[in-house]
Amino acid sequence: MISFNYETDFKLTNEKNLVNWVSSSIKNEGYKEGDINYIFCDDNYLHKLNVEFLNHDTLTDIISFDYTIGKEVSGDIYISVERVMDNAKDFNVDFIEELNRVIIHGVLHYCGYKDKSEADAKQMREKENYYINELI
């Protein structure tokens, strides 16, 4: 089950479409949907998690806690709406496009994709683009 939770005033307007999209993407990757919780928050909220759990004293747009077992994808995905807004401006893209990229990015990690090396980051970006185009 995919759920959306809010620790900020931001609210998605198309939750049902996003649930269907993420579910379809997981299935397309050969995985089964478990419990996935998206938590939308602000920079301060996510920064505290980044320091406490990852020992990173930086701002970030997404932190995902992966509880996937075998082929059943589960986890908590925290997204800073503020950081996504800033990144959209920096990358000169629409906020919704950047938000969708971050939403699918977390799930792709759960499906085994990495982004630490240049080659892995390229593959991750290709997958993100593929699924973003599927949503449109």
pLDDT digits (tens, 9 = 90+) for 35-78: 999 999 999 999 999 898 888 898 899 999 999 999 999 999 99
115: annotated binding-site residue?
A: yes
Q: What ranges do the domains of the chain cover?
A: 2-135
56: annotated binding-site residue?
A: no
79-103 pLDDT, tens digit each: 999 999 999 999 999 999 999 999 9
CATH superfamily of 2-135: Metalloproteases ("zincins"), catalytic domain (3.40.390.30)
| Cβ–Cβ under 8 Å, residues 8 and 81 | yes
Question: Which own/partner contact pairs does 27-32 have at CB distance under 8 Å and 24+ positions apart?
Answer: 29/108, 29/111, 30/71, 30/111, 31/68, 31/71, 31/72, 31/73, 31/110, 31/111, 32/71, 32/72, 32/73
Q: What is the pTM of this model?
A: 0.93
120: annotated binding-site residue?
A: no
By C-alpha distance, which of 107, 80, 79, 84 is closest to 22?
Answer: 107
